[in-house]
Every structure is written in structure tokens, then in C-alpha cells.
Amino acid sequence: MRYLMIPLFAVLASPAMAATGPFVSLHNTNFIVLLAFLLFVGILLFMKVPSKIGEMLDKRADGIRADLDEARALREEAQSLLASYERKQKEMQEQADRIVANARTEAERSAQASKDDIAASIARRLASAEEQLESARAAAVKDVQNRAVTVAVAAAKDVIAKQMDAGRSNALIDESIATVKAKMH
């Protein structure tokens, strides 16, 4: 029924109705054009061109639908990959934060250990310096005492040499020999 409507509308809408003279005549070009058109439409219908065009459009629609489904699947896969990468990025950021925190803690501990080592080194050096000062002070005091003894002995020698005569010298020697004999026995 649908196929009959097209030629009917073609005939009714043709300008052939407005022409003068007999319409159904091989001399009327409008009639010839109408026959050619109807023959063309008949051949198209006989060759089932509209159904083939419909099949082609259906195949194209199916292809587009398949492409849309594939695109939708790819989009979902991309979203899941994005979520996965965001989750991994968040985990990596947390791990990096932990590493930085551990590095800071280690750096603080190392700095404190260095401070303690420096303080101990300074304390040892101060103790060593104090020992060296005390040793130098003791050596200086001993040197002063030795010089004082030397000066005192020299002064006593000079005093004794001035006061000593030969008789007194012999008496002191005899006294010393007697003291040594007494202590020896």
C-alpha cells in the first residue's frame, strides 16, 4: 500500500494536469517523464532497493550502536583506571610523606647525636686543656721552687763561705763523720 501512494502523489502533483491537450499521449513530454519516473520507481521497488537501503541503514545504526557501546565500555574502563591511578597516587603520596617524616626524624636524631658528640669532644678538650694548664702550673711551681732552692743554696754557700774559716770547716767535717758513724752502727 505504501508503494502505491508514492506514484499516486507523483501523478497528482505533476504539472501535467495543468497542461492543455491530451495527457495520455506519447507527444506529451510530461506524460513521458511520468512514465519514466514510474518505471524508475518500479525498477527500484522490483530490485528491493528501499529494503536494501533500510538494511544498510539498520547495519549502520547497529554499527553506531556497537561503537557507542564500545565507547561506553572504554569510558568505564578509563574511569576505573583513573580511580586506580588516583588511589595509587594517594598511596604514593602517603608513602612519600612517611619517608619525609622518617628522614626528618633521622635528621633530628643525627643532629642531636652530632651535638652530643661535639659537646663530649668539647668537654674532653676542656678537660685536656685544664690538665695541661694544671701540669704547666705544677711544672712552673716546681721550676720556681727549684730555682729558689738553687738561689738559696747559692746564697747559703756564699754566706757560709764568708763565715767559714779553716778551723770551723775542720770541726764541721769531724762532726759530720761522727754523726755518720753513729747512724751507721
Q: What DSSP line would sit under 106-130, residue for residue?
A: HHHHHHHHHHHHHHHHHHHHHHHHH
Among the listed ranges 4-13, 80-89, 106-115, 158-167, which one has the minimum average pLDDT value? Answer: 4-13
CA distance 134 to 127: 10
Give yes or no for residue 155 having a pLDDT over 90: no
| Higher pLDDT among residues 180 and 44, named by residue | 44
Residue 5 corresponds to which amino acid? M
pLDDT in tens, 95-104: 999 999 999 9
Among the listed ranges 74-88, 120-134, 144-158, which one has the minimum average pLDDT value? Answer: 144-158
Domain boundaries, the chain: 1-47, 145-184
Q: Supply the pTM of this predicted model.
A: 0.40
- pLDDT bin (cut points 50, 70, 90) of residue 4 is low
Give yes or no for residue 58 having a pLDDT over 70: yes
